[in-house]
Structure 1
């Protein structure tokens, strides 16, 4: 009688060990669907030209003209780099001004 119980117990343990990965794989499908179909975040910020002369900045591939003393509001995808487009008295062309991210949403950037 003990021999039959031992065989039955071994069969139950072996089947549970073999079945658990298959059951786990069949029941736990947690694909990041939102990551695949989500829109890229946009950041809305204002750039203020505090210098005395008009200047140009590049946001990604787009050139933005900033008039002296006037704010310009832009909406950019997160990760877009804002750099100076031309040499000025205080900056060289290609100098990084800011990189759009969620912490800058609604902020005003002053450039001198």
Structure 2
């Protein structure tokens, strides 16, 4: 199973982050499966790639450390594909999503830490 993670600190109030992330994920051609105030689960739309390569994305918003101006969040991008090549589909989607978050006009990126 391929799995890639990244943490971000962005300058946006925590109550605004979740709806902005839902829009960002949908703009990245991901279908929102489930969300709460501090968690979002999305996946690629079926039919675009084989089932084993379909990417699932989990976003965790850390409300416990959020301030009025900064919010920490983490993303996990994974699929059932074995990461036999460095440039696999899951890694490509991870990099695409990471760049979308880092360059979003809806907030200012303070920190990004890939794991």
TM-score scaled by length of structure 2: 0.29
Which structure: greater strand fraction?
A: 2
TM-score scaled by length of structure 1: 0.29
